[in-house]
Amino acid sequence: MGTVLLVEDQAEVRRLTCTILRNMGFAVLEAGDAGEAIAAAQRFDGEIRVMLTDVIMPGVNGKELAERMGKLRPQTKVVFMSGYTDRIMGRDGALEESVVYLQKPFTAEQLSAAVRRVLE
């Protein structure tokens, strides 16, 4: 299935999401913030197919992280997740068409669907 970079600052959410992704057949690189994510991406020699990142994190937010990762690993697809829908909406109240978004809390089925969607 490939490798997913999971970026989530809440340890319990990160552990659960990591378990779901591994059960889906992915290898998972875990990061608690943007700095750890960039470091993991720089250390890892293989392809990172998907970065699943929280939108609201201390320091650098998920959108800024996605922009940085786009320069470092342009082939990596991004899925954003958040419990704060209003923080990732565009000015007109709609998500950008290219954004794959996963509302927290989510089920394993919803996570699987979001990852499949971004990989299509």
Query: pLDDT (tens digit, 9 = 90+) per residue, 1-29?
Result: 899 999 999 999 999 999 999 999 999 99
What angle do the packed helices 108-119 and 11-23 form, to 10 degrees? Answer: 70
pTM of the model: 0.90
Q: How far apart are CA 63 and CA 60, in angstroms?
A: 8
Average pLDDT in the 99-108 region? 91
Identify the architecture of domain 3-90+100-105 in CATH: 3-Layer(aba) Sandwich (3.40)
